[in-house]
Amino acid sequence: MRRMRALFVVLALVMSVSVLAAAKTTVHVVSWYPTTPGGLLDELKRAFEAAYPDYEIEYTSYPSSGYYDRLMTMALADTASDVAMLGFDWIAAMAELGVAMNIDQLVRENFPVDDMFPSIQRALQWQGQYYALSRDITAKVFYYNGDMFAEAGLSHPSDDWTWDEFLAAAKRVHREFDGEVQVWGFVMDFVLDGHYHWFPTNSADWFNFDRTMVTMTDERTVETLQFLHDLIYVHGVAPTPEQRSPLGSAFLNQRAAMHVGGSGTPDPNVYPDLNWKLAMLPQKTQAGSRVWSNLWIIPAGTKNPEAAWKVLSFFAGPEGQRIAGAVRSGIPAIRSVVLEGDYDPYILRAFEVGVPYPVIPNRDVWNVFNEELNRFWRERIPASTVAQAIQERVEPMLNQ
């Protein structure tokens, strides 16, 4: 009889454990990231499930190629995940297409919005409404070679140094021997995000604030384009695209004295001889930079919005952002978490003065920008000509 009672007790315990296990809420998260041990996703899952034992995260990873087509297909097929990773440049399209859930009320009422840089708050919105939260953030910062500056008799640039002072410095650190450039004064990347950051330093932009009008023919936008073009074709302190290509990582390899790069600073173990320094971007009218946020969204078709928000707000909140910083996924999006670390003050300043890279629902717009600007960088043509061409071609596309 005692054995029978003991057996019933064991069975009851087993059944209760099974019921508890079955009662866990599963939250499906999709991304293009691998779930490697100790990586971002693995650490987020471990921390979240420890904090919320009644929930479990189930990851699905898809190749980056075709990832966004898959998200849209899942939305149309009513098989959306609960949370999805998203590239920042897709937020406008996913909001307009109804793939990303409008989470504006949830964010404003239940998330530490004021603990984010204002530039990042703007980056997470489309038409004034929140559709995403941050996986991590980045900004453009100005790098210069401290040894080359010292050899040229140059001191650390002031925080309000100007375009003219930058150009003068570029001429002094530029080095040639027998007609061959040994060190370029400055090196620029010709992808769109390789030069957008210059426009905010002249109170200029490619579009208006809410991204509904193209502003390429505005005087300051044209002036900024011409200034960058002249670095190559008038002053000769920066390489053409053809000269740039074989240089590789020109600044890291000490083939250029200055460049603008990301907020992930060079690894001293990889570049032990590189004496890199940070400074503010040179300015024409104001301090400026470009900010970017990698994203998490809740797909509009989720069947489990409450659980999805719990995961999203954890990933993007202080706990999740602390993990993002620890695994070097990027800069944490929560300002108080950033201040816990040892990030360079110029990186923090970039987020304070920066603006988000422009996002447009009609992504075909960027084909026009690439086509016209690629021609511009390769030829000696006026900035006003290419600006007018982009303006005329893009204007009708904004309403498509």
Structure tokens at 151: 């050899």
Same domain membership, residue 196 and residue 169: yes
Query: Roughly how many angstroms between the first and final C-alpha of the chain, as a whole number?
Result: 79
Report which DSSP code applies to 272.
Answer: T
Instruction: Provide mean pLDDT across the span 14-38.
Output: 78
Asked if pLDDT for residue 17 goes beyond 80, the answer is: no
* Band of pLDDT at residue 19, cut at 50, 70 and 90: very low
Higher-pLDDT residue of 9, 376: 376
Same domain membership, residue 366 and residue 228: yes
Higher-pLDDT residue of 95, 18: 95
Number of folded domains that form the chain: 2
Same domain membership, residue 182 and residue 89: no
* Band of pLDDT at residue 126, cut at 50, 70 and 90: very high
Instruction: Provide mean pLDDT across the span 350-374.
Output: 98
Asked if pLDDT for residue 16 goes beyond 70, the answer is: no
Same domain membership, residue 96 and residue 54: yes
Asked if pLDDT for residue 5 goes beyond 80, the answer is: no
Question: Out of 75-79, 95-99, 182-186, which region has the weakest mean confidence (pLDDT)?
Answer: 75-79
Same domain membership, residue 235 and residue 286: yes
Same domain membership, residue 225 and residue 365: yes
Which residues are within 8 A (CB) of 209 and not within 5 positions of it... i.e. 6 or more apart? none
The confidence score (pLDDT) of residue 240 equals: 98
Same domain membership, residue 153 and residue 134: no
Same domain membership, residue 215 and residue 349: no
Report d(CA 209, CA 214) in Å as an integer: 10
Radius of gyration (C-alpha) of the chain in whole angstroms: 25
Report d(CA 370, CA 199) in Å as an integer: 17
285 domain residue, yes or no: yes
The confidence score (pLDDT) of residue 199 equals: 99
Asked if pLDDT for residue 8 goes beyond 70, the answer is: no
Contact 258, 169 (CB under 8 A): yes
Asked if pLDDT for residue 284 goes beyond 80, the answer is: yes
Which pLDDT tens digit goes with each residue over 218-277? 999 999 999 999 999 999 999 999 999 999 999 999 999 999 999 999 999 999 999 999
Asked if pLDDT for residue 3 goes beyond 80, the answer is: no
Mean of per-residue pLDDT scores for the chain? 94
Asked if pLDDT for residue 400 goes beyond 80, the answer is: no
4 domain residue, yes or no: no
Structure tokens at 340: 């816990």
Same domain membership, residue 154 and residue 122: no
Same domain membership, residue 53 and residue 191: no
The confidence score (pLDDT) of residue 21 equals: 52
9 domain residue, yes or no: no
Question: Out of 4-18, 30-44, 235-249, which region has the weakest mean confidence (pLDDT)?
Answer: 4-18
Asked if pLDDT for residue 149 goes beyond 90, the answer is: yes
The confidence score (pLDDT) of residue 121 equals: 98
Instruction: Provide mean pLDDT across the span 117-139.
Output: 98
Query: Which neighbouring-strand residues pair with 126?
Result: 129
1 domain residue, yes or no: no
Contact 288, 175 (CB under 8 A): no
The parent domain of residue 301 ranges over: 24-138+292-356
14 domain residue, yes or no: no
16 domain residue, yes or no: no
Q: Phi then psi for 133, rounded to 5 degrees?
A: -130, 170
Same domain membership, residue 374 and residue 240: yes
Which of 240, 238, 219 lies closest to 284, judged by CA? 219
The Cβ of residue 101 has, within 10 Å, a number of other Cβ atoms equal to: 23
User: CATH number of the domain that 159 lies in?
Assistant: 3.40.190.10
The confidence score (pLDDT) of residue 7 equals: 45
379 domain residue, yes or no: yes
Same domain membership, residue 166 and residue 105: no
